[in-house]
Amino acid sequence: MSEVDFGAMRAAMVASQLRTSDVNDDAVIAAMASVPREDYVPAARRSTAYVDRPIPLENGQVMNPPLVTGRLLTLAQVRPGDKVLLLGDVTGYTAALLAKIGAQATVVSENAKPSGLPASVQWSKSNPAKGKAKDAPYDVILIEGAVPEFPAALASQLADGGKVALGLVERGVTRLCSGRKALETVGFVSHYDMDMAVLPGFESKSAAFVF
């Protein structure tokens, strides 16, 4: 059996999945073209690392398709030096992408920190819905999962003018949304209807503000 050419698969992902679907941020494209996604999936599923569908993980969780990750990062408009709070990363792949972009990534996940991540990534095994207040404020908050709302506890950790990207669930439909904080309020704009992994721990207490 011939060896899998992951480099060619990565290039094909960028060309056919990302560039054709509004993932047009040069920094995001460069990161996803260079970070080996196959290193962040179970060994038995490495050959499916670049397929445009969710990848089941050994712990019963799910890794989002590449397009979901690419669109979230594009909507977040992450720039080098940004202080980013990443919530719900289950494999470390998105954290590695943020590090490649040059962001200062703080991850809160229910999973333990994977091996092989850049030393610049700070990882806490905790409830993502609570964020990490002691290191706030953040320039960007990125939620890598579908949630019913953006909690007030997280809004308080976002810097004024800070950005958010996440999947908001409304009447059973998940929409990728971006938001920005102004005058202590975070308003959201809906961009795409997409399937993505539901992130546990984000119980709805009030309706999210989407316009």
Domains of the chain, by residue range, sit at 6-193
Taking residues 139-162, report their average pLDDT: 95
pLDDT of res. 204: 66
106 strand-pairing partners? 85, 122
Q: How far apart are CA 69 and CA 64, in angstroms?
A: 7
pLDDT of res. 146: 94
Contact indicator for 87, 144 with CB cutoff of 8 Å: yes
Mean pLDDT comparison of 40-49, 50-59, 94-103, 195-204, highest-scoring range: 94-103
Q: Which CATH superfamily is domain 6-193 in?
A: Vaccinia Virus protein VP39 (3.40.50.150)
Please give the mean pLDDT across all residues of the chain.
92
| Confidence band, pLDDT 50/70/90 cuts, at residue 197 | confident
66: three-class secondary structure by DSSP = helix
Taking residues 95-121, report their average pLDDT: 95
Q: Is the pLDDT of residue 194 over 60?
A: yes
Q: Is the pLDDT of residue 156 over 70?
A: yes
With residue 79 as reference, give the H or E element that holds it. Answer: none
Taking residues 155-179, report their average pLDDT: 95
Q: Is the pLDDT of residue 209 over 80?
A: no
